[in-house]
Amino acid sequence: MKRFLTTAIITLALASPLLAQTPFALQAMGQNVELGTARDTGRGGWGMADSDSLTPGTLNPAALADLRFIGLVFSGYGEQTNSTGYGTSRETYRTIVPNILLAIPIRRGSFSINAGFNIKRTMQYTTREEQSFTLFGEEYDAFERYRRDGSLYFVPLGMSWRPFGGLALGASLNFAQGSIQDEITQVADGFLANIQDQRSNLKGTCYTASMLWDGWGFLRIGASYTTPYDLVADSEVSLGGVTDRGYNNMTATMPPEYKAGLKIDLGNHWAFGADGQFSPFSEMDGVEQWEPYLRDEWTASAGFERRWFRTKHGRSFALPIRFGFRWHQWSHAVGGPPVNERVASIGTGFPFRNGLGAVDFSLSYAIIGDEAENGYQSKSWRLGVSITGLEPLVF
């Protein structure tokens, strides 16, 4: 554990590029990325019904209507993963900063605008398969290496508004962007035999509408809907040693996404929360070779949080306590059954002076897949860090 914490802190501080993830990321649209802050992750991943204006969340845009200060949020995590399957094992590391948010109150406590950057999915992995062939009676050793590297991200531009009382609304225009590189390298008897390289640029546009109701005092509920959209992939295919290049265009219809959540105040600074997410990827259209493997994606998360609070005499404060659990069914199957990810997490943090922002930490342990059902299983430790800064300036 000490080795992991040291490695994760160093890699997260350096913000190094993505290195590798689980073998499940090789198929279809890859692997989902944790979009919440370290505060959300530490309590199990929920936050759709949270409306804390001093630690603005990133999961429900409607909650940003209550901002009274300009807010800037960065979040990321370092990950150590051990993957096993088919008699082999592999240890990988990566660091990712998937979430940046800037929110500006135009009218304090009732209307704000926001922009950000959210990595939705990543696809980073390399495989190597040993081969042999016979030529003129001679047997030659060979291997084929397949490398996939890519991501899909959103650039949202949105606004949040509280028209009255306990209702807040949010809307955003999301520019979907990304790129995927697939490379197949064949080496025979120590000589480079062939390289096939395909680079695809992704583009699309969708919309998100969200709401937050907190007019019942102890109970808050939140929900959002993201529209389906066409994701266009412009690809360039080249073959090593051949000057000609091929170009093709493909359009995939991405499914809608539904999210909902609740938060219940339990008293004495404690709260319980739960979120759900659903996206019918089984209805995704446009990539024929993926269709047999696509499954409906869903996530269920729940957990508890004790907020930080000042002690009796106000000279110090009690650190927050967070813990929770999340179950996520991926959008594709491997080996027949769908891939399931189970995550247990804890977290804490501390506020800045005068409560204008915070630094939050989370530590989670994930088990992805089942070796008996999917052929592989991955176990990941993730150390998350998020920084929220508030500036008391308004227009």
pLDDT tens-place string over residues 76-128: 999 999 999 888 888 988 888 899 999 999 999 899 999 999 999 988 878 77
Q: Does residue 227 sit in helix, strand or coil?
A: coil
pLDDT digit string (tens) for the chain, length 395 residues:
333 333 333 333 333 333 467 888 878 888 888 888 999 999 999 999 998 877 888 899 999 999 989 999 999 999 999 999 888 888 988 888 899 999 999 999 899 999 999 999 988 878 777 777 666 667 777 777 888 888 999 999 999 999 998 999 999 999 999 998 888 887 776 666 677 788 889 999 999 999 999 989 899 999 999 999 999 999 888 876 555 677 888 899 999 999 999 999 999 999 999 999 999 999 998 888 888 899 999 999 999 999 988 777 666 788 999 999 999 999 999 988 999 999 999 999 998 877 788 999 999 999 999 999 999 999 999 999 999 998 876 55
- Containing 40, the helix (H) or strand (E) segment is helix 38-42
Are the C-beta atoms of residues 156 and 177 closer than 8 Å to each other?
no
Give the number of other CB atoms < 10 A from CB of residue 9: 13
Are the C-beta atoms of residues 360 and 37 closer than 8 Å to each other?
yes
The pLDDT of residue 242 is 59
* Domains in the chain with CATH codes: 2-391 (2.40.160.60)
The pLDDT of residue 227 is 98
pTM: 0.86
d(CA 43, CA 268): 17
Q: Which residue has the tokens 């937050």?
A: 212
The pLDDT of residue 133 is 66
Sheet strands (E) in 165-218: 167-188, 191-213
Proportion of the chain above pLDDT 70, given as a percent:
90
Compute the C-alpha angle 14/26/302, nearest 5°.
70
pLDDT tens-place string over residues 151-188: 999 999 999 999 998 999 999 999 999 998 888 887 77
CA distances to 79, 86, 114, 122, 368 from 21, in Å: 9, 17, 31, 9, 11
CA distances to 183, 307, 345 from 303, in Å: 41, 13, 9
Q: Does residue 307 sit in helix, strand or coil?
A: coil
- Containing 13, the helix (H) or strand (E) segment is helix 2-14
